[in-house]
Amino acid sequence: MKKPLRVDERSLRADVNPVRLLTFKIDDRDVSARADETILTVARQNGIKIPTLCHMEGLSEHGACRLCIVEVKGMSRLMPSCVTLPRQDMEVLTKSDRVLDYRRKILELIFSERNHVCSVCVTNGHCDLQALAVEMGMTHVRYDYIYPTHPIDATHPRFSVDHNRCVLCLRCVRVCDEIEGAHTWDVMNRGISSKVITDLNQPWGSSETCTGCGKCVQVCPTGALSEKGKSVAEMVKRRQFLPYLQMMRHRE
């Protein structure tokens, strides 16, 4: 027998109707969103491409690379789409000249910071940063290269870290803390001298907390973290485990 439809009338109050779903515009297209979804999420659901670097599906948002910035009508400052929530009737532009110009400059700043020499890099051809440069049509860097001197740490039996390629997206720090639960990685110093470290800034191979799971290597966007003994062609990062682990942990 069909159940009769029951409505608790006391819960119906038009004056306190919370807005949980909303509609807004991305690049002049009407889109709908749940109020807790970021602009980036909604854009990707609708097939609108926004470049990202520190963002990684399955990890907490860091909001630091600023490549996913978008223009919101009525606001002078550009907003990072990975951490900005939409509002009803907001108008978002992801490809305005201003946005593209700023993104280009930020990408060039990243390239100028450390020694990103693709031709001798182990991830040449599989690198997120390289792909971004191609996608944005970056042909040269207008800023002076800083050319810092950074060491390579190959003390770990299976992996190595080359700080010359690091972009400080902190995906390794987050995956190690949030997914593996070891918190082997963190950042030392600040500003331009920031550097990712294992334990007490000791050689990776001597780390007491590292489980050797290699998740950090897989999520690293560049050649900063790589597997030993793999050729350039083989050094493809596998990231399928992240959504899988997320699903397995939250099933109930």
Q: State the Cα–Cα distance between residues 51 and 131, nearest whole angstrom.
A: 10
| CB of 187 or CB of 236, closer to other proteins | 187
For residue 221, state whether it binds other proteins (rule: CB under 8 A): no
What are the angstrom distances between the C-alpha of 126 and each of 106, 122, 123?
21, 9, 5
Q: Which residue has the tokens 């890099």?
A: 121
Q: How far is the CB of 90 from other proteins (least distance, A)?
A: 14
Structure tokens at 120: 């001798």
**Contact letters (x/-) for other proteins, 62-91, by CB under 8 A?**
xxxxxx-x------xxx-x--xxx------
Residue among 2, 20, 190, 250 that touches other proteins (CB under 8 A): 190
C-alpha 131 chain-centroid distance:
14
| CB of 88 or CB of 189, closer to other proteins | 189
Structure tokens at 46: 């609708």
Stretch that binds other proteins, among 20-28, 41-49, 177-185, 229-237 (CB under 8 A): 177-185
In a 13 Å sphere around the CA of 150, the CA atoms on its Cβ side amount to 24
Nearest to 115 by CA among 87, 145, 136, 143: 145
For residue 197, state whether it binds other proteins (rule: CB under 8 A): yes
Identify whether the C-beta of residue 27 lies closer than 8 Å to the C-beta of residue 93: yes
For residue 213, state whether it binds other proteins (rule: CB under 8 A): no
User: How much is the CA Rg of the chain, to the nearest whole Å?
Assistant: 22
For residue 140, state whether it binds other proteins (rule: CB under 8 A): no
Q: How far is the CB of 15 from other proteins (least distance, A)?
A: 17
Region at 189 (left for phi over 0; alpha for psi -120 to 50; beta for the rest) = left
Q: How far is the CB of 231 from other proteins (least distance, A)?
A: 31
Q: Fill in the DSSP letter of residue 196.
A: E
Residue among 96, 199, 205, 213 that touches other proteins (CB under 8 A): 199
Per-residue b or e along 168-183, where b marks 16 or more CB atoms closer than 10 Å to that residue's CB: bbbbbbbbbbebbebe
Residue among 27, 113, 178, 227 that touches other proteins (CB under 8 A): 113
Residue among 100, 117, 134, 146 that touches other proteins (CB under 8 A): 146
Residue among 25, 37, 93, 106 that touches other proteins (CB under 8 A): 106
For binding to other proteins (CB under 8 A), which residues are involved? Answer: 61-67, 69, 76-78, 80, 83-85, 102, 105-106, 109-110, 112-113, 142-144, 146, 168, 177, 182-194, 197-201, 208-209
